Every structure is written in C-alpha cells, then in structure tokens.
Structure 1
Amino acid sequence: MTFAHPALFYSDEESYIDGTVPFVVEGLANAEPVAIAVPSQNLTLLRDALSRFAHLVTFIDMTDTGRNPGRIIPELRAFADRHRGAVRIISEPVWNHRTEVEYPACALHEALVNYAFSGRDLSILCPYNTSVLRHDVLADAEKTHPIVIDAGGHRPSDHFHPARVVLAAHSLPLQTPVDAASTSAAAGAMAAVRAFAREQAFKLGLAQDRVDDFALAVTELATNSVRHGGGESTVRVWTESESIVCQVNDNGHITDVLAGRTPVHANEPGGRGLLLVNRLADLVRTQTTSSGTAIQVRFDLANKKAT
C-alpha cells in the first residue's frame, strides 16, 4: 500500500487542466474511485473538462466543505473509506481569497494529511496557483508535500517537514480583546456555559438558525476543556471581521495532532466533541503547548449554516 501527496504548482487554467485531468483519467482507467474537492470556480472548470467522465467522479465544493479546513480530512476519509483498493483525490484547500486568519488552519491541514492517510492506498493531488498565492504559502506547500509537480516535471521537495508546520501552527498565539465577554467553566456548570453562549450569540447578531450550533460548539469545547485541561477553563466571546468568535483557554496540552479529525468507533464512549465542533464552525484554530491550550471557533455572522 502506498500513499502519495504531491503538490501541483500551476499558473493558469491551461496548466491546471494539464496537471489535473490526466491524474483523473488515469485513475478512472484503473477503475479507481476519484473525488475532486476544489473551489467552486475550478470545480466548474474540471467538470467541463471531464464532461465525458463527469458521472464517474465525485465533485465536492471546497469553498463550502473546506470553509473550515478542520472538516476536510474527515470528508476525504469518509470518501476513501467507502471504497476498497486504490483511491484518487484532488484536494485544493488554499486559494487566493483565504484570509490571514484562515490560512494557518489550511497549512496545518496540509501537514496533517501526511499523518491521517499514512499507509493508505491513496493519492491526494493538491493544486496551488503560483500566479496569485504568496511566496510563503508556496514555501509551506513544499514543507507539507513530499513531491512537487511544476513546469519542470516531478521533483522531490527538499523542504518536506510536516512536523515543523504542525508545531508552528499550534504555537501561533491566539489573542482575545480585553473587552471580550467571559465566563469560567467547571464540572457541573455546562448549563450556565450554554446559556452564556446563547445570550452572546443573540446579543452579537448571529443568525437565529445558527445560535443552537454556536451554543453546542461552545459547550463541547468547554466540556472537553474541563475534562482534559485541568478541571477549569475560561470561555470568551466577541465579534471580529464579521464573525462571532469564542475562545476557550485551559492548562492542558493536546498531544494527538489528529484530534477532531479522525472517526470514532461506535463503541467508544468519547472523542466526538472536537469532530462535532469542526463540523459546526466556519473556522477552528488551536494553540497548544506545554503551557496550555486555547481553541478558537468562528461563526460567520452572515446567515449561512454549516453543512
């Protein structure tokens, strides 16, 4: 069994098509299931380019599914697990409209792919648009992909070191404003935390159909924090950049780099909290060191619901 995770450096539509379509066609010729998870504009481009074979391919709009990069690995894992034998996936989690707040979660995702699918008979091709993405983003791609495909062909990345990217992403400080509303969480106090989250969501203008999702995500974070982070945590809520943000801080240290991204067996009593939070939130960021952990979730104030 082999796992492949190359980065495709493309500069225009022609090089995008040239780098992705043969990958798909070869997979279909080998009777391998293929999924394409890319932003909506490129999804349309590939659907048109593969019109003869489109009915054989699973298309996933990364603009929606990958809005929170923490949802991508579970989604790709679910596709791969539905099939036996070799599987091919095109996954494009980084595009030019990603914000400075979102991007570290994208880089972390790409690094974690190497851990999540190690040993699987799976090829995941990740396109990067060199004409619009920053130099540091492309440099990170070389750290998270062992092979780079560009105009010169296939080459090994001399900078491949996903562990460094994971450490860097988890070490980035997550700040809270001094005027953020706050409450403390302890065992037996989750009803109060839930009420606090709902109150803040209504007060700060979150769409009504997302208030329950926000309250559930905050309660799950606080529950995990109390259980694994020393028995008490601090919950803060504020608004920033058209999002409502909640951050939970505690004294624990998350050592499982894939926490919240791997499936939990039905007979296991726990382990679903962070999976659920990733499913509900528009973005999840984590800072975790030996000094403590902060997990930050963001929900868009615009009226749209995670799917």
Structure 2
Amino acid sequence: MTTGPGAPPEDAFVHPALFYRDRAEYLDGTVPFVLDGCEAGEPVAVAVPGPRLRILRDTVRRSSAKAAALVEWIDMSEAGRNPGRIIPGVLRAFSDRHSPARVRIIGEPIWAGRSSAEYPACVQHEALINVAFAGRAATILCPYDVAGLDGAVVADARATHPVIIDGAGERSSSEYAPDRVLRAWNRPLPERADVEATPFDLDAIPLIRALAAARAAALGLGPSRTGDLELAVNELAANSALHGGGAGVLRVWAEDGHVVCEIRDSGRITDPLMGRRPAGMRTDGGRGVLMVNHLADLVRVHTAPEGTTFRVYMRL
C-alpha cells in the first residue's frame, strides 16, 4: 500500500480516501503519512475514533517519540460526534491555527457503528470538505474500513474523494462527484405528524424557547443539556423569523436515546457551508447555526424551494 499522494503544489488541497481492510493496511497507510509530515516540518493532526487513535499513536510513538509528541491527537468519536462541527471545530481550527503552513490531517468521520441518522450528515461533511478547503494548503487523508462498512458507504467515498488509495496503489477516482452526493443526501425529513406542532413568529421566540426546554426536560434531558438545547432553539427560531419567511413550527420528541427538536420554516439555505465556517469576525450570518453545530450531538438539515427543516439531536 502506498503512503499517500506525492508532494503537491503549496496551495493545493489534496483529499484522498484510504481504503483499508485490516489493522496492517490501516497502519501501512497512516503511519508513514504522519511520519513524513513531521519530517517535512508540516503540522500534523490525527482525528480518528478512540480505539484506532490509541493504536496509531502507539505505533507512531514506537517509530519516533519526537514525531508523536508533535502530532495533535483528537478522538473523532467525541470531537466529531456531530459531523457538522468537524470542518469548523476540527479541520479548519487546526489549519487556521497553523496558517500559512501546509498541514496534514488524518480525519476518519465514518466508521462501523455510526447510526443511520448520523450517516447522511457524515457523507455531506465529506463532500463539503472539498468546498471548505478549495485552494487551501492542506492534505486531509480519510480512512475507510472497507471490510466493516456497507458497500454503499464505500461507493459514496469514491464520489466524495478525488483520490483513492488502497492495496493496489493510488489513483484518481473516476466516480468523483461531490455535488451529486450533496444533492442525493439532501433528503426530506418526514414530518412527525404524531408530535404536537407549535407555530411561532419573532415575538414568540422567548415562549418557544421555554417550551422546547420544558418538553426536553420532561423527556429526561438533564439541566445542562436542556440549557444547550434552549440556546440552539433560540438561534434556529431567530433564523426562521428573520430569514426563513418570518415564522416557523417547533416539534420536540424522544427517539433512539435522544431528544430531537425540529424547526421547520419556509426559507431556503443557499450556502452549503452555512454553520460550518469558523466564526472569526464574520457578521454576514451563519454564526447561529455554527453555535448549534457545536452544541448538538447531531444536526440534520433538509432544504428545498418550499422550505427548510432542522433537526437537533441531544443525547439523553
């Protein structure tokens, strides 16, 4: 297995998928990538699920304790629990901190065990990396356990990554089509007609915020997370009132170990990276959704000409 793409131009973004079948292939494809980056003086971050993080860190440390100490090690199962926060909170946060240097990042946002509710947000994230990092000096290597993941997931990876690395070597992906993936996974979220719907407008935002908190608490959400949900509802309801047609509808229910809060309105999102850019000093919108992404355990979004739906998931 090759260790990754050759030296790219300084301002080129490289986004390969690493297809591995076992521990040996995983380490063969990731350890040299890390060591080569450290040797070249490039800042390196590794953001993978906890068990693989320990294996990779220990292996790199045995090869070079100095290199292991230079790497930023991140548990993706925590930092990337909500895929919507990975670009602003993990990838761009690391890249921006080391700008203008070229950075290397291993990011594994999709693993066996991700739920069916999480997966659409995961694959949208992978497609949007190409937009978020266009023209930036970075290489982001995304490992995929092709032995443990469904074939449809692997097919999506071929469509969201312009380069594929596997046991046969490195090659361009003939199936690369991230825009198609974004369209395909912008799927309607079926309306929960069995859950009470509460309409609101700008004046009713304080009441709708309190109502969401009360319903979440009644469903078993703890005080701290209920406060986080109340903040998220406030931001989304304000977006609906100010940018989504002036009004919206709130629903709250429990599902698969989460409290789910849904807000629907008649607006449409035209910026695919809304809520996925670091805030910085921006004043042109998107900061509220960014906050929601950082607060929630999962955020699902569907947008179309007839309206937009946000679903915010908080673990019970």
TM-score, with structure 2 as normaliser:
0.93
Query: How far 1:157 sits from its partner (Å)?
Result: 0.6
Query: How far 1:201 sits from its partner (Å)?
Result: 1.1
- 8 Å contact 2:279–2:290 — kept in the other structure? no
The alignment yields a C-alpha RMSD, in angstroms, of 1.0
Which has the larger displacement, 137-146 or 79-88? 79-88
- What's 2:245 paired with? 230
**Structure 1 residue corresponding to 2:81, chosen from 59, 64, 67:** 67
Indicate whether 1:210 and 2:225 are aligned: yes
Query: How far 1:263 sits from its partner (Å)?
Result: 2.2
Query: How far 1:270 sits from its partner (Å)?
Result: 4.0
CA distance in 1, matches of 2:284, 2:24: 50
After superposition, give the CA deviation of every residue in 1:266-294 in whole Å (9 maximum; x if it has no partner).
26264310000000000001100112111
Indicate whether 1:56 and 2:66 are aligned: no
Q: Percent identity?
A: 51
CA distance in 1, matches of 2:150, 2:180: 19
CA distance in 2, matches of 1:198, 1:290: 30
**Structure 1 residue corresponding to 2:203, chosen from 184, 188, 194:** 188
- What's 2:281 paired with? 266
Query: How far 1:265 sits from its partner (Å)?
Result: 3.6
Indicate whether 1:22 and 2:35 are aligned: no
- 8 Å contact 2:49–2:75 — kept in the other structure? yes
**Ranges of 4+ aligned residues in structure 1 off by more than 6 Å:** none
Query: How far 1:80 sits from its partner (Å)?
Result: 0.4
Indicate whether 1:149 and 2:201 are aligned: no
Indicate whether 1:106 and 2:152 are aligned: no
Indicate whether 1:2 and 2:12 are aligned: yes
- Paired letter, 1:182: A
Query: How far 1:209 sits from its partner (Å)?
Result: 1.8
**Structure 1 residue corresponding to 2:134, chosen from 92, 109, 118:** 118
Query: How far 1:216 sits from its partner (Å)?
Result: 0.8
**Structure 1 residue corresponding to 2:184, chosen from 154, 168, 171:** 168
- Paired letter, 2:91: L
CA distance in 2, matches of 1:38, 1:142: 19
- What's 2:292 paired with? 277
Unaligned runs of 5+ in 1: 302-307
Give SS of 1:189's match: helix
Which has the larger displacement, 214-223 or 4-13? 214-223
**Structure 2 residue corresponding to 1:44, chosen from 50, 54, 74:** 54
- What's 1:31 paired with? 41
Give SS of 1:126's match: strand
- Paired letter, 1:111: A
Give SS of 1:188's match: helix
CA distance in 2, matches of 1:243, 1:176: 17
After superposition, give the CA deviation of every residue in 1:85-111 in whole Å (9 maximum; x if it has no partner).
210000000000101110010000000
Give SS of 1:299's match: strand
CA distance in 2, matches of 1:241, 1:103: 15
CA distance in 2, matches of 1:87, 1:240: 39
Which has the larger displacement, 222-231 or 261-270? 261-270
Give the number of equivalent residue pairs: 300
CA distance in 2, matches of 1:267, 1:10: 39
Give SS of 2:147's match: coil
CA distance in 2, matches of 1:6, 1:248: 36
CA distance in 1, matches of 2:302, 2:134: 24
Q: Closer, same or farther in 2 for the Cα pair 1:265/1:30, shift >3 Å?
A: same
